[in-house]
Amino acid sequence: MSVALPEGLVFGPDGLLPVVAQDRRSGDVLMVAYANADALARTAETGLAHFWSRTRQALWLKGETSGNRLRVAAAFADCDRDALLLVVEPEGPACHEGTRTCFGDATPTAAGVLDELRRVIEERRASGDARSSYTAKLVAKGLDHVLKKLGEETIEVIIASKGESDERVAEEAADLVFHLLVALAERGVAPERVLDVLRRRRR
């Protein structure tokens, strides 16, 4: 699947420009690499991130050996057009050391926490293990039951907000967010669609 890249990019004297890979769902920066014109042409053609290895002096497909490829969803140039941002969907850890990012397992952004929770919910839903997984037990009872729990958690947030501690409000709000993500999963609505609506409204 091809991807459109910005035009008029400015390469350095060595024929390279820095490329930042950002997780489309979480917003986390996964890695920084370099690309030449050939690498970008391969990226545009395949929709998979290609870079130029300054160590090996060779073109390389990210994840060619490990399978941890980066599927490019969008690409943006910076204001000087001498750096590139690739918004990607990672297929596994971005770092060759096995960590989620090349900056280690640093504390993720708020969106990153939500995305991690979304992934856990999907795994538990797929497991069908209602004995050891609350999520699997919840969804096994059907959408109506999930929505009932969502309503109950909404009421709990309202009650806590009327006079309980800030910590209690945060705890109840966390329960509400969890059950909302489960409900979205049951409806097949990806959380990023909600974020897209919020972004449009912000404009």
- Are 34 and 71 within one domain? yes
For the segment 91-102, the average pLDDT, to the nearest whole number, is 88
C-beta separation of 11 from 36 below 8 A: yes
* 118 HSE (CA, 13 A, CB side): 17
- Are 95 and 124 within one domain? no
- Are 2 and 97 within one domain? yes
Structural domain count, the chain: 2
CATH number at residue 162: 1.10.287.1080
For the segment 4-16, the average pLDDT, to the nearest whole number, is 95
**Position 192 confidence tier, pLDDT thresholds 50, 70, 90:** confident
What confidence tens digit (pLDDT) does each residue in 159-177 have? 999 999 999 999 999 999 9
Instruction: Extract the tokens encoding 169.
Output: 């409000």
- Are 98 and 175 within one domain? no
% of the chain with per-residue pLDDT over 70: 98
To 5 degrees, how large is the angle CA 141–CA 146–CA 150? Answer: 155
d(CA 68, CA 109): 21
- Are 149 and 92 within one domain? no
**Position 6 confidence tier, pLDDT thresholds 50, 70, 90:** very high
Strands 58-61 and 70-77 turn out to be: unpaired
- Are 196 and 158 within one domain? yes
C-beta separation of 21 from 33 below 8 A: yes
- Are 96 and 7 within one domain? yes
- Are 60 and 119 within one domain? no
Secondary structure letter of residue 134 according to DSSP:
H
- Which residue range(s) make up the domain with 136? 110-202
Residue 93's φ and ψ, nearest 5 degrees, are -60, 140
d(CA 201, CA 100): 31
CATH number at residue 76: 3.10.20.810
d(CA 28, CA 26): 5
Q: Tell which of 48, 72, 106 closes a domain.
A: 106
Which pLDDT score is estimated for 108? 64
- Are 91 and 182 within one domain? no
What confidence tens digit (pLDDT) does each residue in 99-153 have? 888 987 665 667 777 877 888 899 999 988 888 899 999 999 999 999 999 999 9
**Position 98 confidence tier, pLDDT thresholds 50, 70, 90:** confident
- Are 51 and 70 within one domain? yes
- Are 122 and 185 within one domain? yes
- Are 54 and 124 within one domain? no
* 198 HSE (CA, 13 A, CB side): 6
Q: Tell which of 78, 106, 134 closes a domain.
A: 106
Q: Tell which of 77, 106, 135 closes a domain.
A: 106
